Every structure is written in C-alpha cells, then in structure tokens.
Amino acid sequence: MNSSDLKTFLDAKFRQYNTTQFIQSDPVSIPHRFSRKQDIEISALWTAILSWGQRITIISKAIELFALMDNAPYEFVINHSENDLLRLMAFRHRTFNTTDTLYFIHFFRNYYRKSESLEDLFIPDRGALNVESGLNRFHQSFFNLPEAPVRTIKHIPSPLRGSACKRLNMFLRWMVRDDGKGVDFGIWKKIKPSQLICPCDLHVERVAKKLGLMTRNHADWKAAIELTDNLKLFDPMDPVKYDYALFGLGIVEKF
C-alpha cells in the first residue's frame, strides 16, 4: 500500500471509529459521565491510569471508584474528611492499591486548592514539538509532595524513564483534541493537537507494524515518537486522530 492509499485507508477508518458509538465500550465513557471541568479532569486522569487489562473491567473499576466518591470526585477530593477516606480503603485494581488511592486523593486536594485545572502541569516547554517536556514535568510535580510513596511511581510513567506513556497520552488526547465529534473533550486549549503523541498499546503497535508505521521492536517512547512522526505525514496538525483508526483495526477488526 503506497502512502496515498494508506492515508485514504486510515482516514476512512478514523471516520468510522471516531463517533459517539465508540464511547460506551471505552474508558472515555467514564469522564463523559461528568460535566464539571475538574470532575472531567480527575475522572479522566484516574481512569487513564487504571487502564490496563480488559476494557470492561477498567470501566467497571472506575465506576466503582467514583461511586465511592458519591460521583462527585472534585467535591470529594477538596472537602473529604478522614472518615470519608475509610470507604476507599478496599479499592483495588490489579497492582493499584490503597496506598496509591490515598495518595492520588492527597495530590488532587493539594493541587486543586491552588489551581483550577490540571492543564498547566502538562504544558510543554516553549517551542517544543511535542508533549515530552510536559509529561516529564507532570511526573516531577506529581511526586514532589513529601508524602509521595515510592510504590506509586510505577503507576505514573514518563518519557525520561523511556516509557511510551500510553495511558497519559490517551488522557491528553481526551483533554486536547476538539473535532466536534463528541468523543474527545477538547477542554484544554494551551496544548496543540499537533503536539500530542499517539497512545501506543499492544493493539496499536501490532497494526502500526503491519502498516509499516513503526519499526522499533520495543514499544517505548522512541517508538511512540516514530509512530506519531509517520502519522504526521498524513495530518501534521492532528496526527493522533489516527489512534482511532489503529485501535479500531486492532481491537475490533483484529487486522
């Protein structure tokens, strides 16, 4: 398949999967339960971090988590009492445990008492071509509190550590892209869609390699950059829109 045919193919698959029908069976359905900006941010980031394993399980665990916060995560993290935290002590998802849950709440409370949006934590350096510096800054900021537990570090990746940052890049896609199709939120305006990096999970990696969009053997940060740079050849302003095409081809069509 030549470059022109591949672009036509991926554009068609993007249009096929970038619809509101995509929402129900995807973790993005969780932040779509909320309308307040801070609720969307908290639920989106937390759901993204929990997004490993089967999608149906991820969605179920996220629903469980936010139900424990009375489905008002911003109000909960800001105004909870010590007794309110007791109901969260039993929450688990794979290796994400009580220590991680309590620190996430502590971080959110500390941050939102000073700031209105998480966006400022992710803004790339001036002139940066992508969000790498923003992701590294978020990692540093998240663990800058003296109470930060060492065990929680494994749940927050960073390019500095070589990670492809699949879950955080998915979160950024949700927050930044605004194409009017109703899936991504587009509530952040200080980061450009052209700076986003394609989330690189196993399904996307497999399809990308079959299509010649990725050559690296290991799905690390350099692989995510390689994939995104190749997608920029088709749309330099919004390369990550093709995440829909690659994901749909991988998980729905078993391409």
Q: How confident is the model at residue 172 (pLDDT cuts 50, 70, 90)?
A: very high
pLDDT score, position 223: 97
Rounded to an integer, the average pLDDT of 213-241 is 96
pLDDT, position 82: 95
Residue-level pLDDT at 49: 98
**Domain membership of residue 213 as a residue range:** 3-252
What's the chain's average pLDDT?
96
Find where tokens 């940060």 sit: 221
pLDDT at residue 87, as a whole number: 95
What pLDDT, in 10s, does the model give residues 48-100?
A: 999 988 999 999 999 999 999 999 999 999 999 999 999 999 999 999 999 99
Q: What is the pLDDT of residue 187?
A: 98
Instruction: Say which residue the tokens 């299509």 belong to.
Output: 211
The mean per-residue pLDDT over the stretch 161-187 comes to: 97
Is the pTM for the entire model greater than 0.85? yes
Number of domains making up the chain: 1
pLDDT, one tens digit per residue, over 101-115 is 999 999 999 999 999
pLDDT exceeds cutoff 90 at 174: yes
In the structure, what pLDDT confidence band is assigned to residue 39 with cuts at 50, 70 and 90?
A: very high
- pLDDT tier at 255, thresholds 50, 70, 90: confident
Q: Is 164 exposed, middle or buried (0-12, 13-18, 19+ CB in 10 A)?
A: buried
What average pLDDT does range 148-162 have in this prediction? 96
